[in-house]
Amino acid sequence: MLNKEMNNLGVMGFVTFEKLPDVNSEDVIAASLRWQREFLKPMEGMGFHCLLGNLNGGFADLIFGTDRSAFERMNELFPSAPSSAAMMKLLDRESISMRSAELLKKDFSIPVSFSCVEAGFMRAVKPGQLMPEDVVHASETLERDYLEAYANTQGHFVGTTEENSYCEVTFGQTLGQTREICFGYEAAKPCSDFLDLFDKPSFEFDFWFPLA
């Protein structure tokens, strides 16, 4: 895991992928660590990276940077980096799905300790009418009146992914507790008020744990 302990992170990258059938997971982890150390660590504006895994055997890169220009620079240099090529040859390229989000939480910093990341993506139930400030207000209420009651909760934020689309990310101490808390949203009013802002069929979310 790479964590430069920045408190001015403004953009998240979230890339999911699967390995080729004949590739060992251990090789993906080793290649990710090399890419993290050789490529991302020296790069200005990139503050965090973690390779994640899920219970279905999938992988995800969770990356945070200061702004869009930092990600543009990373994308520009990615193809020519030897560590990128070493990583890419292990992956099923058709499985790669890339998302990015601008954080709506000011002065966000990565929690010191966590072992689960819940990442959810969704669209507004009323496109063109839901404003980012409405999502922020509902998110802050959810945090104050629900998530902060659990010691498991280590961090939480919402962000915009594209027009009328948003993400919600929660950092937790354990995967089991984080799942339990998140699946309790429907029964808690601060959570249901938040969920009602979004189109239920559009929800995509999963629970991930750090690998590298």
Q: Where exactly are the structural domains of the chain?
A: 2-103, 116-206
- For the cut 90, the answer to whether the pLDDT of residue 186 exceeds it is no
Residue 184 is predicted with a pLDDT of 92
Determine the length of the chain: 212
Average pLDDT for residues 73-91, to the nearest whole number? Answer: 97
Per-residue pLDDT tens for 103-131?
999 888 999 899 999 999 999 999 999 99
Residue 43 is predicted with a pLDDT of 96
On average, the pLDDT of the chain sits at 96
Average pLDDT for residues 133-145, to the nearest whole number? Answer: 96
- For the cut 90, the answer to whether the pLDDT of residue 193 exceeds it is yes
- Cα–Cα distance measured from residue 120 to residue 143, given in angstroms and rounded to the nearest whole number: 16
This prediction's pTM: 0.95
Residue 145 corresponds to which tokens in the numbers above? 């009146």
Q: Which CATH number fits domain 116-206: 3.30.70.100, 3.40.50.1820, 3.30.420.40, 3.90.1150.10?
A: 3.30.70.100
In this structure, what is the dihedral angle of CA atoms 111, 114, 120, 125, given to the nearest 10 degrees?
-50
CATH class of 2-103: alpha beta
Residue 150 is predicted with a pLDDT of 97
Whether 2-103 and 116-206 share one fold: the answer is yes
Using an 8 Å Cβ cutoff, are 139 and 197 in contact?
Answer: no
Residue 132 is predicted with a pLDDT of 95
- For the cut 90, the answer to whether the pLDDT of residue 7 exceeds it is no
